[in-house]
Amino acid sequence: MALAFKAPHVIKATYRIVTPMFIGDAEQKASGISPASVKGALRFWWRALNWGRIHQATKGNATEALKQLHDEEGKLFGTSADNGKAARFTLRVISGNLAKTVIGTTHPEFKKQPAARYLGYGLMEAFGSKNKNTEAGQLVRECINENQTFTIQIISNIKIDESLRQALIAFGLLGGLGSRVRHGMGSITLESLQENDKATWVAPKNQENYITTIQQLLKPSSETPFPPFSAFSTVSKIDLLETATTPYNLLADFGKKMLLYRSWGKDGKVLDYPSERRFTDDHDWSKGQMPSNFHPKRVIFGLPHNYGKGDHLSVTPEKHRPPLPRDAYEHDRRASPLFFHVHQIGSQYVGVSLLLPADFLPHGEKINAGGTNVPAKIEWSVLTDFLEGKDKQENMRFQNKKTVIKGRAI
C-alpha cells in the first residue's frame, strides 16, 4: 500500500529594497540577508501585532499577557531555552548576488544630501576631513544597494499560522532590515505574497490603497494605552508625511526637519537653515546650567546619545529584578519609539512615520545623565509636536501629511 504524500504549505513573500540596507557580519561587511535577521524582524512585528489580542484575552493582566505572548511566540518561532524547541516552519531567503557599496566608497546620493547623512550617522562620514582623507558620504559600513529584491520562503508541514502571514505583511508595509532602520535605512516594500503558488495579496497601487491596507491590518484590539514594549495599541499613530520621486529626497527632507527641530545649531543655524531652538533647557544642561536631577527632554528620541564631551546619556539598568518571560529589562539603551519608513508605491515614494508609545523604561530604571542617575520624566509631546506642529516660520512642518492611524491623545 502506497503512503499518501502530503505536500507542505509554502508562502513566498517578495520584497523590494527601497533605501540602502546596512546589514552584515561582525566585520561590518554586507554579506547578505540572513534568515536569522529576517526571523528577528518577523518576531518584532509579530509581537507588535499580537500584544493587543493577548492583552485583551487576559483581561488586561499585563504579567499574564507577557507570559502568554512569550509562550505563543516560542511555539511559532521556536526557542533556545531549555534545550530549545523547533519553529513550526523553515525559513529561507532567496536573494541571489545582491549589489552593494563597499566600505571607503563615497556614496553619491548621500554625498549630495547632508540631512540624509544625519539619519545614517555612524554608518558614513557626516562631513569628511582633510586630515583623515575622508569626504562626506564616505561609508564606514558596507550597504546593500536599493532597487533590488529578495524573497522569503516559509515552508511548513502544517497550515501556516495566519498571524505569521500578517507579520510578513506588516514587515513589508512599515519595516526594513539593518542598522538605522528606524531612521529609514533598509526600508523595504512588499511586492507580492503567494501561498502554494497562488497570489493571496495585492500590493497597494496608490496612497489610498496603502492607507486602507494598513487600517485593515491594524484593527484596534487593545485598550491598554502603554504596552510594556513597542507594540500597536490605541495610542499608536501612523502618518504619510511626504511624497517624492526618489527615496533620498524623503530621507533628506525628514532628516532636515528632525535636525532643525532637535538641534540647537551654531550661530542659530543648522545646515545653513535657522534652527528652531526649541529645547533651551536641554541646551543649558549641556553647559552645566541645570539642576543635577534634570535630564534632557530629547531622550524620547532614544538612548544612548551624546550632548558633547562627557555629556553621555544612557539607561541605568536595575540589576536585581526577577526576569519576566522576555528578558528585555536589563539593558543600556532604549530604541526610538518613532519609526521612519520609506515606501515605494509605483514610481512614487512616500515617507511614513510610525509612533509606538510604550513604557519608555521598565519601572526602577533611570537615565544616566552625564554621570548622574536621574528618574525618567518622559514627555511624549516632544514627538507628537514634531509630527503635528509648526516650524520656525509658523508653517506646518509636514504640510502634506495624511493620517493613516490617528491614535488617542497621549
Contact 245, 178 (CB under 8 A): no
Determine the pLDDT at residue 36. Answer: 94
Of residues 353, 357, 354, 355, the one with CA closest to residue 398: 353
- With bands split at pLDDT 50, 70 and 90, how would you rate the model's confidence at 28? low
pLDDT confidence bin for 328, thresholds 50/70/90: very low
- E-strand spans in 171-272? 188-195, 198-202, 237-244, 269-270
Buried b (16+ CB within 10 A) or exposed e, 164-173: bbbbbbbbbb
Q: What is the mean predicted confidence (pLDDT) over 223-231?
A: 84
The whole-number pLDDT of residue 77 equals 95
* Residue 146: Cβ within 10 Å count: 21
Instruction: Kindly tell me if the per-residue pLDDT of 405 is higher than 90.
Output: yes
Cell (9 digits) for 293: 536631577
Say yes or no to pLDDT of 305 above 60.
Answer: yes
Q: What is the pLDDT of residues 197-218, one digit of tens each?
A: 999 999 999 999 999 999 999 9
Q: What is the pLDDT, as a whole number, of residue 325?
A: 37
Query: By three-state DSSP, how is residue 371 classified?
Result: coil
Mean pLDDT of the chain: 89
**3-class SS of residue 252:** helix
Rounded (10°) angle between helices 162-174 and 35-57: 110
- Distance in angstroms (rounded) separating the CA atoms of residues 227 and 356: 9
pTM above 0.85, yes or no: yes
Q: How far apart are CA 63 and CA 324, in angstroms?
A: 8
* Secondary structure (3-state) at 193: strand
Taking alpha carbons only, the member of 183, 154, 179 closest to residue 169 is 154
Q: Pick from 224, 185, 265: which is nearest to 21 by CA?
A: 185
pLDDT, tens digit (0-9, with 9 covering 90-100), for 124-177: 998 888 778 899 999 999 999 999 999 999 999 988 899 999 999 999 999 999
Region of poorest pLDDT, from 23-32, 35-44, 202-211: 23-32
Spatial separation of the C-alpha atoms in residues 161 and 158, rounded to whole Å? 9
Evaluate if residue 337 carries a pLDDT over 90: yes
Mean pLDDT score, 335-362? 95
Which bin fits 10, alpha (ψ -120 to 50), beta or left (φ > 0)? beta
Which residues of the chain are in CATH 3.30.70 domains?
Answer: 9-103+141-203
Classified as helix, coil or strand, 77 is: helix
**386: part of which helix (H) or strand (E)?**
helix 381-388
Q: What is the pLDDT of residues 268-292, one digit of tens each?
A: 888 888 889 999 999 999 888 999 8
Residue 313 has pLDDT above 60, yes or no: no
CA distance 5 to 310: 66
From the list 42, 71, 4, the residue with the least C-alpha distance to 153 is 42
- Pick left, alpha or beta for residue 306 (phi over 0 → left; psi -120 to 50 → alpha; otherwise beta): beta
Q: What per-residue confidence (pLDDT) applies to 240?
A: 98
Length reported for the chain: 410
Per-residue pLDDT reduced to its tens digit, 351-389: 999 999 999 988 778 888 888 889 999 999 999 999 999
Cα–Cα distance measured from residue 368 to residue 347, given in angstroms and rounded to the nearest whole number: 45
Bridge-based pairing of strands 312-316 and 366-369 is antiparallel
| Upper half-sphere CA count for residue 186 (Cβ side, 13 Å) | 25
Q: Is the confidence at residue 329, as pLDDT, over 50?
A: no
Please determine, for residue 83, whether its predicted confidence score (pLDDT) is greater than 90.
no
- Whole-number pLDDT of residue 143: 96
Domain 9-103+141-203 of CATH type 3.30.70: yes
